[in-house]
Amino acid sequence: MAPRNISVAIVGGGIGGLTAAISLLQAGFDVQVYEQSRLLSEVGAGINISPNASRILNWLGLGEECARVAYRSPFFHQRRWDDGRTLTKARLATDIEDEFGAPHHIFHRGELHALLAKPVPRERVHLSHRCIGIEQDGKKVRARFENETEIEADVLIAADGIFSAVRRALLGTERPRFACRAYRGLIPVEKVRDIPPESTAFLGPGRHFIHYFVSAGRMLNFVGHVEQEDWISESWTEPGKVSDLRAAYEGFHPQVQKVIDAVDETFIWAVLDRPPIPRWTFGRITMLGDACHPMIPFMGQGGAMAIEDAAAITAALAQCGDDVEAALKLYETVRLPRTARVQNVSWENLTRFHMPDGPAQVERDAAMAKGMTDWSYKHIAWLYGHDAAILDPSPQVAQIPGH
């Protein structure tokens, strides 16, 4: 079958689902997207899109639009929590583009989402379609939705996020792993004029605080990650109190206090993941993004991995012709070791970022000062230098020192 005769149903119109839709449409597949929300939109806050993912957005013809709406930070600066001493300072801006051939962009999530929604024709996006059931018979896959519609396709891609209904149908109910609480919010640049333009993280015992500009520099995004025992609320995001945020960062560097002083409103999030799984393709059904490999944001890679998945799944389906089951298996074989590695490194950073002051933390700081940890170009090349459209099933990710 030619691609245009292969129908692909994508459940979920988030970053991963929309990127897959654009990429598969460009390759000639017959794509429909089913999204539970009434509107195609994203909640506020920021998202880093590193060269491994921005390279793909460039290929999809979105590079100019990305450059127009995103912020390009000059550095990523990691500092000690109290005295602000530099632990590492990685060059971003033009240097990273020279090194890896694609930029590091920081987006307001809503702007990234809008940019991805634009190239997908309206008639191919079905809003208010909450998937509640799936089945397949070796020839077709069917999905049922809460609004009582049913659809049939040759392939179904679950891009329905960390609480994926499709994953639950395939693997049963699993509880996500709780990492920490996050205070998030946005501040207009007018209120933080004297905050340096670089992305900055202050690493401290049991918590860290990160801030970076988004929306082409018009807003400062902040995230305060604070460890706690468990998440007891039903919701994974709810309004937070600025007074709690302030109390959580007492004793942190004056720059952190300045940012918090400018905060009017904050939301708290449960930062969750799920450990890697051995498979995520089942016949004509597969998953991408947070549905199959949710990760905590301590490498800033969840959205980037979803974008990589979209490129890989398109390449696999284009390569395998009629045999869609083989294509989805190839996609899983290629992607699983890499995404599992990023999940694991992200989780390890929970310990590394939040070390209590003491000998282990002194050792960490020395390693960071020598450029021995992630974000030095040498140590991040396995991640940022990757081309997800090349389907290399060899374990291309195993031999980087330090991990």
Ligand X SMILES: Cc1cc2nc3c(=O)[nH]c(=O)nc-3n(C[C@H](O)[C@H](O)[C@H](O)COP(=O)(O)OP(=O)(O)OC[C@H]3O[C@@H](n4cnc5c(N)ncnc54)[C@H](O)[C@@H]3O)c2cc1C
User: Which residues contribute to the site for ligand X (CB under 6 A)?
Assistant: 11-17, 34-37, 47-48, 129-131, 159-161, 165, 182, 184, 223, 269, 271, 289-291, 297, 300-304, 306
Residue 77 pairs in a beta bridge with 89, 200
Any idea how long the chain is? 403
Spatial CB neighbours of 185, under 8 Å, sequence gap ≥ 6: 44, 45, 221, 222, 263, 265, 266, 267
- Give me the sheet containing 131-136, strands edge to edge: 131-136, 141-145, 150-153
**C-beta of 139: minimal distance to ligand X in Å?**
23
Question: Cβ closer to ligand X: 299 or 365?
Answer: 299
Question: Cβ closer to ligand X: 129 or 329?
Answer: 129
**C-beta of 2: minimal distance to ligand X in Å?**
27
- CA distances, 112 to each of 127, 218, 289, 322 (Å): 19, 15, 16, 33
Q: Tokens at residue 181, please? A: 């609480």
Write phi, then psi, for 251 (nearest 5 degrees). Answer: 90, -10
Please provide the distance, in angstroms rounded to a whole number, between the alpha carbons at the two ends of the chain.
43
User: Percent helix, strand and coil across the chain, each rounded to 5?
Assistant: 35, 25, 35
Question: Cβ closer to ligand X: 183 or 252?
Answer: 183
**C-beta of 357: minimal distance to ligand X in Å?**
25
**C-beta of 336: minimal distance to ligand X in Å?**
15
Is residue 212 flagged as an active site residue? yes
**C-beta of 270: minimal distance to ligand X in Å?**
9
Write down the catalytic residue from 71, 183, 212, 249.
212
Question: Cβ closer to ligand X: 35 or 111?
Answer: 35
Radius of gyration of the chain (CA): 21
Question: Cβ closer to ligand X: 113 or 365?
Answer: 113
Question: Cβ closer to ligand X: 326 or 352?
Answer: 352
Q: Closest by alpha carbon to 285, among 339, 323, 329?
A: 329
Q: Tokens at residue 310, please? A: 């979209």
Alpha helices (runs of H) in 194-301, residue ranges in sequence order: 242-248, 254-261
Q: Tokens at residue 266, please? A: 């904050």
**C-beta of 237: minimal distance to ligand X in Å?**
9
Active centre residues (catalytic)? 212
